[in-house]
Amino acid sequence: MTEQDHKPLRLAIAGLGTVGVGVLKILQKNGELIAARTGRAVEVTAVSARSRDKDRGVDLSAVAWEDDPVALAARDDVDVVLELIGGSDGAAKSLVEQALNNKKHVVTANKALIAHHGAGLADIAVAKGVALNFEAAVAGGIPIVKALKESLQANDYGRVYGILNGTCNYILTEMEETGRDFADVLKDAQALGYAEADPSFDVGGIDAAHKLAILAGLAFGYDIDFDAVQVDGVEQITANDINLSKSLGYRIKLIGSTSLIDGALAQEVGPMLVPHGTPISDVSGVFNAVAVEGDFINQCFFEGPGAGEGPTASAVMGDVIDIARGLVTPPLGLVGGGRGPAKVADKDAHIGAFYVHLMLRDEPGGMAAVTNIFSDHDISIASMLQSERAEIAGDPVPVVLITHETTAARLNVAISAISGLKANAALPRVLPIATFGE
Ligand SMILES: NC(=O)c1ccc[n+]([C@@H]2O[C@H](COP(=O)([O-])OP(=O)(O)OC[C@H]3O[C@@H](n4cnc5c(N)ncnc54)[C@H](OP(=O)(O)O)[C@@H]3O)[C@@H](O)[C@H]2O)c1
């Protein structure tokens, strides 16, 4: 370490919400511990947020205040800028760009920013010789970014998949445990602070897709490409789907999964059935989990708190500690540039078994017409469940079919034929069945 490395590391914090305040609390409680572990003090010299008057429960009397967060990037008394504002563009992006261009290290928790602009920002950081660290952007307190870009990098990665959104996992877990419907449980999640007032990014799968795009970039070295993620949310999942899946030996989870298929990058986020008894099926409530397959590790499974003040601030401070020790690694784990844009895998190429939920009118010939269509398209049925008979003949009843392995392309053709049947009373719901952990 040089003399410079023993000087206090000076932080600017932009954003004093859940995560920003969490960072201040860690420094307040564990500042000495961190100084002992890094060999230098870590101190906050300047901050910025929208409202200067808000009581945030932390003492800010000794630090400078900037109304404009971008001004933090130009201060001489700042070595590292912590971007904890959020949003893929606007103030967060301007601040990070300015800071990197001014040769300040940057730590951010902002998944939207990295998912949309990660490749370009990483190029600036590498060109300027500074850090752009974003551990907190994926799966909160779980150290998955570091694992992929450092500890496991001797492996050729296979599939990387996981539960990347605690709100959805909480909702699905509650639906299973209480038998209540989606809308009802969502209201509870909002009251408990697990879901935002506008929950669309979470329940629509966008938040998980941001994280998955980052994981895919880290694992496979292509440019992070959020727009290529196929995204489906959990809004359509009913208590009935959860019950029927349970009786067939599965749980429904919102899964993000990425892999290379014949050199093309597959990135999917959506509800899937996972077999009971697999590690991922047992991840419940607001927890996150990520599994990494690699040719020399087989599989590593990480589970932990995916959000919240403490876990997220802990991940931010882990990144700061690296910088305090003088460790600057390439943001995406690539020295000498990445592999450029990926070829995008055909979404209909997905091969596997599927869960098909139909509402069929309880009348003679309806079921036979469905099974004929499957057989015409060479899709065999592994199991079938009809949970109830209609009270009035001809009324629709739920029917669930589990297929044997087939392609999404073939299944889609069969499903559109079934949709046109007279006996079919609602849009069929199709969910892939995961083969994780087998
Ligand atoms: N919360 C989590 O559990 C979690 C987990 C992982 C990652 N993250 C990420 O961490 C980041 C921060 O999240 P958060 O939950 O802490 O958000 P938050 O509680 O909403 O806080 C955002 C902060 O940014 C400030 N801000 C907003 N616009 C600003 C602007 N134009 N100029 C200056 N300050 C501005 C706000 O100021 P005021 O307080 O004055 O309004 C607030 O202090 C986001 O990127 C988020 O995705 C959060």
Ligand 1 pocket test: pick from 18, 60, 108, 165 the residue with the most ligand atoms within 8 Å of its Cβ: 18
Q: Examine the domain organization and report whether 178 and 261 are in the same domain.
A: yes
Domain at 357, CATH number: 3.30.70.260
- For the cut 80, the answer to whether the pLDDT of residue 437 exceeds it is no
* CA-closest residue to ligand 1 atom 20: 17
Q: Examine the domain organization and report whether 51 and 116 are in the same domain.
A: yes
Q: What is the per-residue pLDDT across 145-180, written as a single tens digit (0 to 9) for each?
A: 999 999 999 999 999 999 999 999 999 999 999 999
Q: Say how many Å lie between the first and final Cα of the chain, rounded.
A: 47
| Strand stretches in 49-185, DSSP E | 64-65, 80-83, 105-108, 132-133, 157-163
Q: Examine the domain organization and report whether 74 and 112 are in the same domain.
A: yes
Confidence of residue 362 (pLDDT cuts 50, 70, 90): confident
Closest ligand 1 atom to 21 CA: 16
Confidence of residue 387 (pLDDT cuts 50, 70, 90): low
- For the cut 90, the answer to whether the pLDDT of residue 242 exceeds it is yes
Residue 65, number of CB atoms within 10 A of its CB? 10
Mean pLDDT confidence for 397-401: 92
Tell me whether residue 113 is in a domain. yes
Q: Examine the domain organization and report whether 150 and 93 are in the same domain.
A: no
Q: What is the per-residue pLDDT across 24-73, written as a single tens digit (0 to 9) for each?
A: 999 999 999 999 999 999 999 999 999 999 999 999 999 999 999 999 99
User: Of the listed 93, 104, 149, 211, which one is catalytic?
Assistant: 211
Q: What is the per-residue pLDDT across 84-122, written as a single tens digit (0 to 9) for each?
A: 999 999 999 999 999 999 999 999 999 999 999 999 999
Q: Examine the domain organization and report whether 360 and 260 are in the same domain.
A: no
- Contact predicate 341/57, CB 8 Å: no
Is the CB of 330 within 6 Å of ligand 1? no
Q: Which helix (H) or strand (E) holds 182?
A: helix 182-191
- Tell me how far apart the alpha carbons of residues 236 and 335 are, in angstroms, rounded to a whole number: 43
As given in the structure block, the two tokens for residue 256 are 């993000």
Tell me whether residue 378 is in a domain. yes
Q: What is the per-residue pLDDT across 263-319, written as a single tens digit (0 to 9) for each?
A: 999 999 999 999 999 999 999 999 999 999 999 999 999 999 999 999 999 999 999
pLDDT in the model for residue 2: 61
- Tell me how far apart the alpha carbons of residues 275 and 278 are, in angstroms, rounded to a whole number: 6
pLDDT in the model for residue 192: 86
Domain at 92, CATH number: 3.40.50.720
Angle formed at CA 22 by CA 17 and CA 23, multiple of 5 degrees: 105
pLDDT in the model for residue 436: 76
Cα R_g (the chain), whole angstroms: 24
The DSSP line for 190-218 is HHTTSS-SSTHHHHTTHHHHHHHHHHHHH
- What percent of the chain is predicted at pLDDT more than 70? 97
Average per-residue pLDDT for the chain: 94
Q: Examine the domain organization and report whether 104 and 216 are in the same domain.
A: no
Ligand 1 pocket test: pick from 66, 85, 138, 196 the residue with the most ligand atoms within 8 Å of its Cβ: 85
pLDDT in the model for residue 3: 54
Domain that holds residue 128: 3-137
Number of domains in the chain: 3
Question: Which bin fits 390, alpha (ψ -120 to 50), beta or left (φ > 0)?
Answer: beta
The DSSP line for 99-125 is HHHTT-EEEE--HHHHHHHHHHHHHHH
Tell me whether residue 313 is in a domain. no
Q: What is the per-residue pLDDT across 342-353, written as a single tens digit (0 to 9) for each?
A: 999 998 878 899
Tell me whether residue 25 is in a domain. yes
Q: Examine the domain organization and report whether 118 and 157 are in the same domain.
A: no
More confident residue, 409 or 195: 409
pTM: 0.95
Annotation marks residue 211 as catalytic = yes
Q: 133-171 b/e with 16+ CB inside 10 Å = b?
A: bbbbbbbbbbbbbbbbbeebeebebbbbbbbbbbbbbbb
pLDDT in the model for residue 434: 93
Residue type, 73: A
Residue 285 main-chain phi, psi, to 5 deg: 65, -145
- Give Cβ neighbours of residue 281 (< 8 Å, ≥ 6 apart): 250, 251, 253, 274, 275
* CA-closest residue to ligand 1 atom 18: 17
CA distances from 241 to 165, 187, 269, 323, 399 (A): 20, 20, 18, 47, 10
Confidence of residue 338 (pLDDT cuts 50, 70, 90): confident
Residue 431's beta-bridge partner residues? Answer: 355
